[in-house]
């Protein structure tokens, strides 16, 4: 290809291929997306995103979850600038850590305490380690196909992983009480904990909200076995409710893992727990060079304030429902059979009879061309920056995308 005809994104990809294995890694590798999706980005503002080619999109990925108030949210920016002028990474925490732990204990129904880290994987791993530390047992139940991070014990792509890394994992099927009971039986007297996602948001599949009876049974099984009920709220936390996602079905976990939306894009994760796990948590050695960083904690305080004061989850729900209703009506007009699943704040859109995702790819490409950034397989994310006007503008583009699909070509 001629360098003069290459786009900035293509030029960056070529440079990246020389100094980054495969040009990019992990969940943000553009190879998982339809052709023409950009790999590199320049900036963000509200619900808008500009790629390295200078194209603007109404964005429905929200950086795969972290952006919950939109980019450049004034309240977060102000808190970040204020904290940055004082100090971020010091010889210990600042008052922000105490304030944020107090805030989470006040907001999250099950929480008596909080600890902070950087990655969702840090938080889920701490929960599992803590469950083992507190119970003196080893077996951890996880739902088949669920994503809990990218460390050897939980990575969905186990290259370089040894059998021993997963020696004490037992799988069950999400929302399937009998499979959960069978897994608990298999763990026997060695059950340390049951890990469950806030809802079933497995890649490429229809999403499933937690069944209340399933959640209650998980709670009862943990109580009977003196094991930890661990909620992986990394992806869903603070979008569905500020009180812990299973609060919506009336079930409280012992431990929860949080990250993504907690600080509107600043690197932060958290574990919250109840009193039963406090003593063991105090004995645990978990740490990282940047875990006391005050700027992400200041960002989190501002994010939670904005979400609470602005009724963030309800607003995102309404915006997501407006999008969902519009898409459903459009698909019906063109006789295209689609399935929309999951909470409206984190919607998944799949086409019927689309095993290779060709339809999903086509639809998303057509939308992308028209300035709307959707994902054909992964759940998407709304933010409080998505106004009714933004949704309606996006729906104009998706109407044309459906039309282009239906008319072939």
82 binds a second copy (CB under 8 A): no
DSSP line for 39-86: S-EEEEEBTEEEETT--EEEESSGGGTT-SS-BT-HHHHHHHHHHHHH
Rounded to the nearest whole angstrom, what is the least distance from the CB of residue 358 to a second copy in the complex?
22
Which lies closer to a second copy via its Cβ, residue 57 or residue 214?
A: 57
Rounded to the nearest whole angstrom, what is the least distance from the CB of residue 361 to a second copy in the complex?
17
Beta bridge partners of 196: 231
Which lies closer to a second copy via its Cβ, residue 132 or residue 315?
A: 132
Rounded to the nearest whole angstrom, what is the least distance from the CB of residue 93 to a second copy in the complex?
6
**Binding-site member from 91, 189, 309, 407 for a second copy (CB under 8 A):** 91
Number of residues that bind a second copy (CB under 8 A): 111
Residues 28-57 that bind a second copy (CB under 8 A): 28, 30, 38-44, 49, 52
In terms of Cα–Cα distance, which of 249, 211, 254, 213 is closest to 232? 254
314 binds a second copy (CB under 8 A): no
Which lies closer to a second copy via its Cβ, residue 132 or residue 217?
A: 132
Cβ atoms of 263 and 240 closer than 8 Å: no
22 binds a second copy (CB under 8 A): yes
In 87-225, which residue ranges form alpha helices assigned H by DSSP? 95-107, 120-135, 177-187, 212-225
102 binds a second copy (CB under 8 A): yes
Rounded to the nearest whole angstrom, what is the least distance from the CB of residue 221 to a second copy in the complex?
21
Q: Which residue shows structure tokens 């060079």?
A: 289
Residues 202-241 that bind a second copy (CB under 8 A): 234
Cβ atoms of 184 and 329 closer than 8 Å: no
Distance between CA 350 and CA 353 in Å, rounded?
A: 9
**Binding-site member from 105, 318, 328, 336 for a second copy (CB under 8 A):** 105
125 binds a second copy (CB under 8 A): yes
86 binds a second copy (CB under 8 A): yes
Residues 155-174 that bind a second copy (CB under 8 A): 155-157, 159-162, 164-165, 167-168
Beta-carbon neighbour count of residue 220 at 10 Å?
12
Which lies closer to a second copy via its Cβ, residue 63 or residue 207?
A: 63
**Binding-site member from 55, 56, 64, 173 for a second copy (CB under 8 A):** 64
Rounded to the nearest whole angstrom, what is the least distance from the CB of residue 34 to a second copy in the complex?
14
- Binding mask of the shown chain, residues 249 to 288, with x at each position contacting a second copy by CB under 8 A: ----------xx----xxx-----x----xxxxxxxxxxx
189 binds a second copy (CB under 8 A): no
Q: Which residue spans within 152-190 are E strands per DSSP?
A: 169-172
Q: Given the DSSP bridges, would you call strands 228-232 and 191-197 parallel, antiparallel or unpaired? A: parallel
65 binds a second copy (CB under 8 A): yes
Strands ordered across the beta sheet of 56-59? 41-45, 48-51, 56-59, 372-373
Residues 284-313 that bind a second copy (CB under 8 A): 284-293, 296
User: Which positions ≥6 away from 276 have C-beta within 8 Å?
Assistant: 134, 254
Judged by CB under 8 A, the stretch of 9-17, 209-217, 335-343, 390-398 that binds a second copy is 9-17
Which lies closer to a second copy via its Cβ, residue 52 or residue 399?
A: 52
Lookup: tokens for 86:
């004082």
In terms of Cα–Cα distance, which of 237, 257, 244 is closest to 118? 257
Distance between CA 118 and CA 124 in Å, rounded?
A: 11
- Give the containing element (helix H, strand E) for 11: helix 8-19
């Amino acid at each position: 290809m001629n360098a003069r005809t290459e786009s900035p994104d293509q030029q960056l990809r070529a440079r990246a291929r020389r100094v980054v294995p495969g040009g990019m890694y992990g969940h943000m590798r553009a190879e998982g997306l339809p052709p023409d999706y950009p790999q590199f980005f320049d900036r963000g503002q509200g619900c808008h995103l500009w790629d390295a080619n200078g194209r603007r999109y109404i964005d429905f990925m929200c950086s795969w979850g972290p952006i919950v108030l939109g980019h450049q949210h004034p309240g977060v920016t102000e808190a970040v600038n204020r904290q940055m002028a004082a100090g971020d990474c010091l010889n210990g925490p600042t008052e922000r850590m105490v304030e944020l732990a107090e805030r989470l204990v006040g907001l999250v129904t099950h929480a008596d305490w909080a600890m902070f880290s950087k990655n969702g994987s840090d938080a889920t791993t701490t929960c599992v380690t803590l469950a083992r530390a507190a119970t003196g047992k080893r077996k951890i139940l996880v739902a088949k196909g669920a994503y809990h991070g990218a460390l050897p014990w939980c990575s969905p792509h186990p290259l370089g992983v040894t059998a021993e890394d997963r020696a004490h994992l037992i799988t069950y099927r999400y929302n399937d009480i009998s499979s959960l009971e069978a897994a608990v039986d298999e763990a026997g007297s060695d059950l340390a904990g049951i890990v469950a996602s806030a809802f079933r948001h497995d890649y490429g599949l229809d999403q499933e909200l937690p069944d209340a009876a399933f959640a209650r049974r998980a709670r009862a099984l943990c109580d009977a076995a003196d094991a930890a009920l661990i909620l992986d709220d990394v992806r869903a936390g603070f979008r569905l409710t500020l009180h812990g996602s299973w609060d919506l079905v009336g079930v409280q976990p012992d431990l929860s893992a949080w990250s993504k939306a907690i600080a509107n894009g600043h690197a932060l994760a958290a574990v919250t727990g109840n009193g039963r796990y406090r003593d063991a948590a105090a004995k645990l050695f978990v740490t990282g060079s940047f875990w006391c960083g005050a700027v992400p904690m200041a960002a989190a305080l501002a994010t939670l304030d904005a979400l609470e004061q602005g009724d963030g989850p309800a607003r995102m729900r309404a915006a997501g429902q407006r999008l969902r209703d519009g898409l459903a009506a459009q698909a019906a007009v063109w006789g295209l059979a689609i399935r929309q699943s999951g909470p409206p704040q984190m919607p998944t859109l799949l086409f019927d009879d689309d095993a290779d995702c060709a339809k999903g790819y086509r639809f998303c490409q057509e939308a992308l061309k028209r300035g709307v950034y959707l994902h054909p397989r992964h759940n998407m994310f709304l933010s409080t920056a998505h106004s009714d006007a933004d949704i309606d503008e996006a729906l104009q583009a998706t109407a044309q995308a459906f039309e282009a699909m239906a008319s072939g070509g």
